[in-house]
Amino acid sequence: MAAPESVPPWWRVWPHDAATVVVADVADEAGAAVVAEVRRRGGSAGYVRADVADEASVEHLLDRVLADFGHLDGAVNNAGAWQPDVPLHEIGVEVWDRLHDVDLRGVFLCMRAELGLFLRQSEGGAIVNTAGIAGFKAMPGLGAYVAAKHGVIGLTRQAAAEYAEYGIRVNAVAPGMVATPAWSARPVPMRQLYADGQAAGRAAAAEEIASAIVFLLSDDASFVSGDVLVVDSGTLQQ
């Protein structure tokens, strides 16, 4: 089924009409709301509380997926943390550690569990990681974030090379600015400043990034692996 417009599009983790979607987050109320909306519209979904920075929590998530649904076809590793805009020499260790725990360690822990499950199933699989244009370039004031996103791209390419022979595809999307709830909560002048820096003069809608993710998970991308699909309206080329 198509994703309802009123639901955050990251619930569309597998682009088949008969898909069952597992939403994983630490925001229980928001996760439950997404699941309820998917079910209300005739889809099948479940929620599992999971902290991607915690190894045991990630393992519990995959155990629950198997116990409740019996199989995993595709996964989207989309959890992320942001940092205050400060020069590199002013980044606190706590900020650095928290951001890398979620944005890089979290991707590694999820990929490790997902790859292991795909190998046990012996049926291939697809993974899409969320990187960002910060994975390709420096961004003043965002040193910890830039380092983490470069790492996500490296992990994506490494896994694609290692697991292609098992029919497992691993790709990433690299969005520019996206109009997420966190972005929308920022002051209007700040949002306008960021939007003006995008080639299209606006932030992307979340659905525009989700569509790219759905493509990379689907059979339409059956020979695509190790790629980073930039979805930024040309901003990276400026």
Residue closest to 91 by CA, chosen among 147, 137, 44: 147
Identified catalytic residue from 47, 145, 163, 166: 145
Which phi and psi angles does 149 have, rounded to 5°? -70, -35
Q: How far apart are CA 133 and CA 143, in angstroms?
A: 13
Residue closest to 77 by CA, chosen among 8, 120, 151, 131: 131
Question: Cβ atoms within 10 A of the Cβ of 238, count?
Answer: 8
In the residue annotation, 145 being an active-site residue is answered as yes
In what helix (H) or strand (E) does residue 129 lie, and over which residues does it extend?
Answer: strand 125-130
Residue closest to 153 by CA, chosen among 220, 104, 201: 104
In what helix (H) or strand (E) does residue 25 lie, and over which residues does it extend?
Answer: strand 20-25
User: Annotated active-site positions, please?
Assistant: 145
